[in-house]
A = this chain, B = another copy of it.
Amino acid sequence: MLVVMQAHASEEQVRAVCQKIEAMGYRAHAMPGAQRTAIGITGNQGEIEPGTLEEMLGVQELIRVSKPYKLVSRDIKQDNTVIRFAGTEATIGGPGLAIVAGPCAIENREQAFAVAERVCRAGAQFFRGGAYKPRTSPYSFQGLGEQGLQIMAEIRQQFGMKIITEAIDQESLELVEEYADVIQIGARNMQNFSLLKRAGRCKKPVLLKRGMSATLEEFLMAAEYVMSEGNYNVVLCERGVRTFADHTRNTLDLSLVPAVQRLSHLPILVDPSHGTGKRNKVTPLSRAAVAVGADGLMVEVHHQPDLALSDGMQSLYPEQFDELMVQIRQIAPVVGRTVPGIGRQTPAVTARPPRTAAATPAAD
């Protein structure tokens, strides 16, 4: 904490603030400057509760200095966290990109298998699909629940992909923990601290999505909640934030990737499907996410977006996902990455042609 005094603050006022700080049990460091005096506070173990310091005579402003996160920080652990999965080479945070794909929601067995077959063949090592859907409207399809989890367990069995799916409360968390390989906490629950703590007592990795208006610090503190309960396998995921911009559903903040990597050892994925909300933007932003250095992608794919029960507008067609995989295989080496894949390799598809005119948006 730094206390900035007003330019015309008297020596007496500076002294009074220092005494107050000492009375609160901290140390005060007065630094007289050309224009004004600033007073540093040290000796605190955690965050300083500033109480009424800001109201004292002569005080201009308080500036917080210490960062409240510990376990997520590179200060504690300098090496990258790499999450491994038994019986597979797939990792999250290792040199191979983690590719997560699947439908927004599991709608039925046929749909889920149809999509799974395609994304596996294209190279995805992780299958995503919602069994519990947090929907803005209580009247929208809310997911199949445990039945959806069972379908995903069968998909793991058949295709070897690891399963990532969202838990929305304590009850669903218990089932997700049982069926899935990675427990997703969605953007709307990023500060559902009860759920975070409960996830922190799970034995499986947690994928934590950034809240719609979460600062980097709040995002890291949410991960800290999970880790503080003993679960160190946390994966962060940027999925777009809320801004004034209205050409996409959210504004995908790719600068978060290098920012997280500078402060934290945790891996970070990017979800361009929710990050843009528009199918024709998913592929370009996926390429950008790999190029910026993300540890992987989370992409929605649906074989019949027209009939999707949710988020059909932002789901790639399987053919588009094939092409996306071809493109990111070419970009990955530039950032020292590989794209492993567990399925059969896709046949060669030609790279994306240059910018197309609006007359043929479907090709974009």
**Known interface pairs A32-B42, A43-B34, A245-B215; A168-B194 also in contact (CB < 8 Å):** yes
> What CA separation (Å) do A170 and B34 show in the bound complex?
37
Bitwise, A190-204 to B at CB < 8 A (1) or not (0) is 011111010000000
> What CA separation (Å) do A42 and B31 show in the bound complex?
7
CB pair A355–B80 under 8 Å, yes or no, is yes
CB pair B241–A50 under 8 Å, yes or no, is no
Tell me if A150 is interfacial: C-beta within 8 Å of chain B. no
**Known interface pairs A2-B63, A258-B280; A95-B242 also in contact (CB < 8 Å):** no
**Known interface pairs A44-B34, A65-B63; A285-B244 also in contact (CB < 8 Å):** no
Tell me if A263 is interfacial: C-beta within 8 Å of chain B. yes
Q: Which of B6, B36, B244 contacts A243 (CB 8 A)?
A: B244
Bitwise, A247-283 to B at CB < 8 A (1) or not (0) is 1100111111111011101000000000110111100
Tell me if A86 is interfacial: C-beta within 8 Å of chain B. no
CB distance from A335 to the nearest CB of B (A): 6
CB pair B262–A361 under 8 Å, yes or no, is yes
CB pair A45–B38 under 8 Å, yes or no, is no
> What CA separation (Å) do A78 and B265 show in the bound complex?
47
CB-CB under 8 A from A342, the residues of chain B are: none
